[in-house]
Amino acid sequence: MRFTKMEGCGNDYIYVNGFEESIPQEEKPKLVQKLSDRHFGVGGDGVIFINPAPEADFEMEMYNADGSRAEMCGNGIRCVGKFVYDKGLTDKRRITVISAGKIKYLDLTVEDGNGQNGGRGTVSKVRVNMGSPVLEPELIPVIAGGDRAVDEPIRVDGRDYRMTCVSMGNPHAVIFAENVAKLDLERIGPGFENHERFPKRTNTEFAEVIDRQTVFMRVWERGTGETLACGTGCCAVAVACVLNDLTDDKITVKLLGGELEIEWDREKNLIYMTGPAVTVFEGCLPGPEA
């Protein structure tokens, strides 16, 4: 089985071309766990299969490192855009990708690179229309008292926090804090992820506002643990910042693995994410039966 290792701001996934590789659906969770293992496998935050799709140009079938399905990954979908263009699966620089039934719109920035890739160039950056943020608690989902969970109290492992919850196709709980760089996420993160108020678990972003245009964030991802970046998490943070009147509508989110530009067009109620996509290496492994 051939694979490509890619990363966006250090959020790394193993990509498999579903146009060429045929893997039984029931075997994928175990295969994902094996491939994602950083000691005994390729190593990554999960695996993404790029498949044909009747409703869009491509399908992104995404799995967390623990083998569970995930609905959306902002860094992952940018790398999908780079993969399909660089591999010659499309010549278009504006494409659609469907994941968990939701279509996203990608604009690809192509650099010629002195005749690279047969003169077609390669993708260096991708802008994604991530759609509208979901704020209704039952749709996120989160158990909350009102019609939105904004600056909502939550008690986790005996400590009180305030959270703002957003879905960007997957659930997020944003916690504003100070000294985020020093937080012990290995200890704190699991308590949020598996809290009874999140019926489908949650991704948790710990955000520190630097100024009206800049935020520093660390993330504990559902099914994976702390990662160097989370694209949908950055989108959720931008929404939470605006809802709490902490930043402007367009911000730079600084992450352990890099930076993303996030803009909430509130007139159209659309979130735009712009950031890099990088190919790390390629390889070939035995199939899932090995």
Distance CA 90, CA 125 (A): 16
Q: Which of 9, 79, 230, 234 is catalytic?
A: 230
Give the HSE-up count for residue 258: Cα atoms under 13 Å, Cβ half-sphere: 18
Please state whether 273 falls in left (phi above 0), alpha (psi between -120 and 50) or beta. beta
The three-state secondary structure class of 20 is: coil
Q: What percent of the chain has pLDDT over 70?
A: 97
Q: Is 241 a catalytic residue?
A: no
**Residue 65's closest CA among 239, 223, 203?**
223
**Given a cut of 90, is residue 213 above it in pLDDT?**
yes
The count of domains in the chain is 2
pLDDT digits (tens, 9 = 90+) for 224-244: 999 999 999 999 999 999 999
Q: 236 and 193: one domain?
A: yes
Q: 187 and 75: one domain?
A: no
The three-state secondary structure class of 209 is: strand
Confirm whether 103 is domain-assigned. Answer: yes
Confirm whether 290 is domain-assigned. Answer: no
Distance CA 271, CA 265 (A): 6
Distance CA 83, CA 222 (A): 25
Q: 69 and 98: one domain?
A: yes
Q: 57 and 141: one domain?
A: no
**Given a cut of 70, is residue 54 above it in pLDDT?**
yes
Q: 226 and 157: one domain?
A: yes
pLDDT value for 115: 65
Q: 113 and 168: one domain?
A: no
Indicate the Cα dihedral angle 113, 115, 117, 120, nearest 10°: 90
Q: 148 and 126: one domain?
A: no
**pLDDT mean over 182-210:** 98
Using CB atoms within 10 A of its CB, is residue 101 exposed (0-12), middle (13-18) or buried (19+)? exposed
Distance CA 253, CA 230 (A): 10
| Residue 44 and residue 36 in contact, taking contact as beta carbons nearer than 8 Å | yes
pLDDT digits (tens, 9 = 90+) for 97-119: 999 999 999 999 999 866 677 77
Q: Is 73 a catalytic residue?
A: yes
Q: 170 and 61: one domain?
A: no
Q: 120 and 18: one domain?
A: yes
The three-state secondary structure class of 29 is: helix
pLDDT value for 287: 55
Angle at 36 between CA 182 and CA 281, to 5 degrees: 95
The three-state secondary structure class of 21 is: coil
pLDDT digits (tens, 9 = 90+) for 144-177: 989 999 999 999 999 999 999 999 999 999 999 9
Confirm whether 145 is domain-assigned. Answer: yes
Confirm whether 211 is domain-assigned. Answer: yes
Residue 281, number of CB atoms within 10 A of its CB = 9
Residue 238 sits in which domain range? 137-268
Q: 143 and 121: one domain?
A: no
Q: 156 and 173: one domain?
A: yes
Q: 81 and 197: one domain?
A: no
Q: What percent of the chain has pLDDT over 90?
A: 94
pLDDT digits (tens, 9 = 90+) for 126-150: 999 999 999 999 999 999 989 999 9
**pLDDT mean over 56-70:** 97
Confirm whether 73 is domain-assigned. Answer: yes
**pLDDT mean over 13-21:** 98
End-to-end CA distance of the chain: 11
pTM for the complete prediction?
A: 0.92
**Given a cut of 50, is residue 290 above it in pLDDT?**
no
pLDDT digits (tens, 9 = 90+) for 258-277: 999 999 999 999 999 999 99
**Given a cut of 70, is residue 288 above it in pLDDT?**
no
Which residues neighbour 185 within 8 Å (Cβ) at sequence distance 6 or greater? Answer: 206, 218, 220, 226
Confirm whether 168 is domain-assigned. Answer: yes
| Amino acid present at 99 | S
Confirm whether 115 is domain-assigned. Answer: yes
* CATH at residue 190: 3.10.310.10
| Amino acid present at 275 | G
pLDDT value for 118: 75
Tokens of 194: 């598996």
How much helix, strand and coil, in percent to the nearest 5, is found in the chain?
20, 45, 40
* Residue in the structure block whose two tokens are 């990509």: 15
Confirm whether 289 is domain-assigned. Answer: no
**Given a cut of 80, is residue 1 above it in pLDDT?**
yes
Average pLDDT, the chain: 96
